[in-house]
Each structure stands twice: as C-alpha cells, then as structure tokens.
Amino acid sequence: MKLKGSEIICESLLREGVDVLFGHPGGAILPFYDALWAYPQLRHILVRHEQSAAHAADGYARVTGRPGVCVATSGPGATNLITGIMGAKADSIPLVAITGQVARAAMGTEAFQECDICSIASVCTKRTYLVMSAGDLARTVRDAFRVAQEGRPGPVLIDVPRDVQLEEAEFEYPAMEPTPEPTLSEATLENVRRAAALINQAERPVIIAGHGIVHSRAFDELLALADRTGIPVINTLLGLSGFPRSHPQSLGMLGMHGMYWCNMVVDQADVIIGLGMRFDDRVTGRVSGFAPHARIIHLDIEASQVGRIVPAEVPLVGDARPVLQALLPLVRWVERPEWMAAIARLKAGHPSLAIPASDALLPQQVLAELNEAIRQDDNAVVVTGVGQHQMWAAQYLFLNRPNSFVTSGGLGAMGFEVPAALGVQMGRPGATVWSVAGDGGFQMTLQELVTAVQEKLPIKIALFNNGYLGMVRQWQEMFFEGHLKEVPMPGPDYVKLANAYDIPALRVEHQEDVADALRQAQSCDGPFLIEFVVERETNVFPMVPPGGSLADTLEDPRTATAAR
C-alpha cells in the first residue's frame, strides 16, 4: 500500500494504540495535519501553546501507562516543546514528540523557522530521529515507541521534514515482537536473598517507595511487603499514591518538605529499603549526613542509578514488580515494638500536619478540607504545579487510589498544573481531576482554560492566590536576609478571567466558605475554578535548610512542641 509520509505516520500511530494527540499546527507540520482529516480515530487536542502539549501528553502517559503523543511545527513550535520533554525525561515518562522540519533542500540554509531540534533535544530525550525518507517512517515510529517504553521510560522525538511528509512510499508496519516476561538473573536472585536476610534481621527498618512503584504498577507487591513484614512505608514526592496514605504503616513523604517524623525515621533507621527511587538531593539533604546508621538496599530498573548517590550494600537491578514478587516469599513478620513506639512518639511530639491558628484563610486548611472532599471519591486524581502549594498538597492529601497524584518532580516546571490536568482527564475520562495550582505557575499556562472548555474536560482548579512567587519569597525571607526581590506577583481577576472563558468560578476568602465551594465544584459537570485568597506570607514547614541533613529538619515555630 503506497501512502504519503504523513499518512504513514497516522497509520503507524494507530497501530501503536494511540487515540489522542496534543498539539498545535504550523507550516512545516501541515501535511500531517492534512492527513489527520482522514483519521478521526486520532483525536487531536488543540492546545494554545506547545509547552502545554508536552505537559498534557505527560499527564496522559502518567495515568494510562501508555506513551503520550505531542505534535508541533518546526522552529519555535519544536523549541516550545522542550520544557515539557525535559520534564518527562526527569520523571521517566514515556512520551513521543513529533515535529515538522523544513524541507530537505532548505535544511542548513537558515530557512524560515528552521531549527536543528534533534541536537537541542538530544540531552532531553532517550533518542531523537531525523527521518529523511518516507520509507523509513513506519520503522522509525515503531522503534520510537519501543524506546520510549522499554527499561527506564522516557521521551523520544521524531523530526520529519515537510517534503518527507508529502513523499509517497510503500507502507508496511513492522511486526510487533511479543514482550518477553521479565526474568531475573541468578545474580539478582542472590541479591534478593541477601536483601531478605537483611530485612528479617533489621531492628529499625523503613521502606522508601518512589516513582518506580508507580511505573511498574507494583502497588499490590508493595502493599504485600508492608503487610508481611510490618515495616513502615515512606514515599518520595513522585512515589505518593504508590502506597495507600491511610494505611496504618504509611508515614507520608520525606525530604526537603517531608514530615518531620519521616526524616527522623530515616535518620535513625538501621536498614533502608529504597524501592524505585534515586536518592536525589530533595530526598537526602546533605548526602554525607544521610541515614548514618543504615545499611541500604536499593532497587532500580537502571543499573547506573543503583548506588550512584548513596552506596548500596545490596543492589537490586530490575523492574520493581518481578523483583518484589521474588522477595515476598523470603521475608517474614518481625515484631519491633521499640521501633514502632519510637515512631509513634515522633509523630505525637512533632505535629507536622498541625494547622497554625489564624484568622486568615490558610492554604493548609484548604487542602485539609479538599482532602475530606475527595476522601470518598475513588476516582479523584490530583495534579499540582510546582511551589508551596505542591508541597502542602503532598503533605495534606491522603490519596489511597494507586497512581492518583501527578506532579512535576525532577524538573519542577511551573505551569505544569493545568495542561497536565487536561492530559490526565483525557487518560481517565471518568475521574474527578483536581488541578491544584499556584497563582505564579497558573499565569504561565492559563490560556489552556479555553482548551478545557473546547474539549469539554471537566477539570476542577483549586487556585491558591497569595500574590507572591511563594516558594521563592520563602527562601528570600529565610536565607537572603529578607531581601524580597521580584517575588510579589499581582494577577488578573481570576473569577472574571474564568468567566471570560465561560467557566463558572468562585472567590473564597474566609475559612467558613471553603467546604461549600468545594462541593459546588464537585457537583459541576464541567470545568470549575475556585480562587482561594490565602494568607500571603505563610511558609512551608517542615523544611530541610540548604546544606542541611534530614536530622536538621526545621519545624513550623507556630506548631512545634517538645518531643515526648
């Protein structure tokens, strides 16, 4: 069957199971958009900025487990994708970006909207492809989807010159080879046995579960490990919703803004079982002071990550699910009354979730009430931006459904919250999707409100307006002698803005109005925005200061009490 290159791309996407694309057209990608006319099975979501296309594809991929697909034209269209592509790389999200390129004869001539996007994207992707012949397109798409998903997932980019999209070639899609069941080598099985022995002998063990649990869909295995051993579970930011937060052994998040007790548990532990996490700087604090008494078991799918930052006594390289399945029969329940009592004392004496007394509306209170509102909703998914609101959401939202917390972790991209929520809503059409947004990040991608309306995506936006770049202001206040520079951030009238997009909206300024506003948003069958005008200078605690270790965690002076 002879097809144009643009048609070959469409046919190839269908064979990969793609049903939705996020993109923005332009000159060099027009042949592809022309081909889409004949492929209604490929639903295209028109975003208002290409960065949003990448974030939306990212959100879609996180909740479906399938690669998200984003599309842009050459030059600025392609470069606008880069932030979202790098975010997917940092958080190991499978994503396929397709960009148009100037015609082959014009390449290298500084033609209009020409850009060597493959060179730019090479450090932000697992692989890039410049396709110079229509006959290579099917094979390239097949390989791109394979690379995006195998091993540690990540983004890939396919760059297609305009005339290649118009060129005809025979189409035959490469056969998909069956994915072999993961098998563990004898060396790995021996390390699993070593890990089990260390776990069974431990007096003060703790599990730190990261994003790898979510990627591997190893939710049942992690739960079984906790139930079988009685070991408490701590999550990284990206590991949240990998373990039910209401489980009695769940301690919450650790790290820079983690629970005080989580940081102290890690500091005092004698065995740490790191599952699908990288021991990055936001988790460890000062590495030389991290877990000084602990022997480390480290599981990661990528061999280069194991022991890279924190030395691992027992390295486990592989997919989390089969490795945990091999580990489970070898571990046993061990009573550790002194350890559990010590943890209970830490939680009682250091109330990290206590909300300070205030006449003003505090973001912590709003999130505590949002937590109550979504507790009964098994279909709720929370998507956050980056900043103070992100940390408060991670602290106060007790999400129990697997894979129900979506945030930009490694790159920390402001503006992620709204477009990623659109992608999440597309990936889980029946879910109640809450976009928890800060006023700073919201102003970066607020144009996507119209995308939600156009596509009838009923996302709920909880917008925290403190008139500041809050996290930057906190750092300037605490560590730069209070020199507040370029952090006050006035914005528009957000209610009027939402109404201009035909989105119902409320402004909430008083504590007693929070619960009713949340109920109104939940009962609305379309998008809804609530602007919470919160206290302007509330800081996020607990906090590990710059250069500090977990043992140096600072508590909120308004709520801290002496440890009992």
| CA atoms of 268 and 262, how far apart (whole Å) | 10
Q: How far apart are CA 23 and CA 5, in angstroms?
A: 18
Residues β-bridged to residue 362: none
pLDDT at 182: 74
Q: In which residue ranges of the chain is pLDDT below 50?
A: 562-564
Cis-peptide into 40, omega within 30 deg: no
Q: What letter would DSSP give residue 194? A: H
Give 247-251's long-range contacts (Cβ < 8 A, gap of 24+): 247/223, 247/400, 251/206, 251/343, 251/347
pLDDT score recorded for residue 561: 58
- The residue behind tokens 């798409």 is 141
DSSP class of residue 551 equals: G
Q: Provide DSSP, 428-471.
A: STTSEEEEEEEHHHHHHHGGGHHHHHHTT---EEEEEE-SB-HH
Q: How far apart are CA 307 and CA 320, in angstroms?
A: 16
Burial 272-298 (b: 16+ CB within 10 A, else e): bbbbbbbbbebbbbbeeebbeebbbbb
pLDDT given at position 551? 97
Residues whose CB falls within 8 Å of the CB of residue 247, separated by 6 or more in sequence, listed in order: 223, 226, 233, 400
**pLDDT for the residue 177:** 79
Separation of alpha carbons 151 and 148, rounded Å: 9
How many other CB atoms are found less than 10 A from the CB of residue 512?
8
How far apart (Å, rounded) are the C-alpha atoms in residues 243 and 540? 24
Contacts of 477 (CB under 8 A, 6+ apart): 484, 537, 539
Q: How many CB atoms lie within 10 A of CB 447?
A: 15
Q: What is the pLDDT of residue 558?
A: 87
Asked if residue 140 lies in contact with residue 158, where contact means CB atoms within 8 angstroms, the answer is yes
Contacts of 119 (CB under 8 A, 6+ apart): none
